[in-house]
Amino acid sequence: MKKKFITNLVLVIFLNLLIKPFYILGIDAEVINQVGAKAYGNYFALINFSFILNIILDLGITNFNVKNIAQHHQLLDKHFSGIITIRLILVIIYCIATLLLAILVGYNSLQIKLLIILAINQSLVAFILYIRSNLSGLHLFFQDSLISILDRTLLILICSLLLWGGITSQPFQIEWFVYSQTLAYFITLIVCFLLVFSKTNKFTFKWNTKFALVILKQSFPYALLILLMTIYYRIDSVMLERMLNDQSLQAGIYAQAYRFFEASNMIAYLFAALLLPIFSRMIKLNQSIVEIVNFSFKLLMGFVLTLAVFCCIFNYNIIDFRYDAHIEEASKILSVLMICFLFVSSTYIFGTLLTANGNLYHLNLVAGIGVVINITLNILLIPKYQALGSAFASLITQFLTGVAQIILCCHFFNLNLKKTLSQILIFLIGLFLFAFFLKCFYSFTILNLLLYLTFSFIWLFISKLVKISDFHLLISTEIK
């Protein structure tokens, strides 16, 4: 099992490192620079608003489908046609609900116009994610990995022409960015559909009420979980834009730091995407998950801590390297969000394990509490601390929900993480001391980064967070 996990993990990380960080830190950051913090802040608040009702597009079907197809491959023909028909109906409901909610909260006509296109984009993404879930459920990780970077690759090509290609004399508009997303998502959807279609014996658009009700009933707990998690992940920028009368400036500053967090999070999320079908299959076959949980957790924390410590120590230099304004404010927010990143990443292991095991009641309880805490803290902190207060609200929420999920996994699976956590702590202390040494005695250069990464890799093995023997086991360990 570890062999399948690690080989596909290396593949998806390699592909995503080639594309997604460049998109966020190259294309997306340049868009912020060209349109300004206020215009981008408005877009950032709107796109996060479009995520709030995103659950209507999915209703938990994607996570349910990954788990179900991973355990029962023969159901692909039956479910593929039926679920796509259901999702077409959900798209209509989602777009209407999003429009009504936007009117209710007081968005103006220009914001609503942009939001409608963003809602269409969310619908396209939801279709892509569902169709990809079939590839993942079938353990076709190579094809899934290629699709995972296709939309961003297309977006890089399109936006590069608009930003630097000299094809227009007009200043770059935020609307162009949104329309470019629409085109990239549409092309990706077609390619993804054709890949899954090649694995099925038939495909027809046919409404089956009984089938729809069964699928929706089984996926409802997943839907509730995604809704609650989306709220406390995405509500920050929406509340900043709505609570502060600053023409979305604080939301834009928050977005500058958040984009680095998001670039990091994309890589960490790959663990969950790979582990959900693997955990689901192992649990069905009554195989022990202890070894792969420890291995994946330590491997993920090695990556996360390396990145988080560097971003916290060199926060100002990183923001200054890519952005033109609001450097001081955004750098402070970056430090808070990268600490938050540690706890978000833990949920990609332990939240995924609980999902695969069907512990949706407990996950929903934790997520519900997280929503209450996050909204309450935002209401208290935003008026005084603005974007920085919102970042601290996220940190506290993610810390509490992350720890709760770890405790639940230890209870349900009899995990003993004392040794693993002590190894992680030793690794963290070493990283911090070395990064602080670089900060004190050397200016920020590419050489600093290379020295830090070299030390981190060596320290990973010296601290025994990851052992050579772990990789020896990959040769002989495989999924059945």
What is the model's pLDDT at position 215? 66
Contact (CB, 8 A) for 341 and 304: yes
Tokens of 269: 């999320």
Which amino acid is residue 284, in one-letter code?
K
Mean pLDDT per 10-residue section of the chain, whose length is 480 residues: 55 67 80 88 90 76 59 53 75 92 90 94 88 69 76 91 85 92 94 79 62 70 80 85 88 88 79 77 83 88 93 91 87 95 92 88 93 95 94 95 94 89 94 91 79 93 81 47
Angstrom distance (rounded) from CA 95 to CA 134: 25
What does pTM read for this prediction? 0.74
Per-residue pLDDT, 421 = 92
Residues 6+ apart with CB under 8 A from 396: 373, 377
Amino acid occupying residue 193: F
Residue 11 burial (10 A CB sphere; 0-12, 13-18, 19+): middle
Domain parsing of the chain, residue ranges: 2-476
Tell me if 38 sits within 8 A of 252, measured CB to CB: yes
Predicted confidence at residue 237, as pLDDT, reads: 84
**CA distances in angstroms from 258 to 87, 149, 261, 304, 333, listed in the order given:** 30, 20, 5, 16, 8
Q: What is the pLDDT of residue 446?
A: 80
Residue with tokens 């116009």: 113
Q: Using an 8 Å Cβ cutoff, are 479 and 281 in contact?
A: yes
Q: How confident is the model at residue 68, as a pLDDT?
A: 56
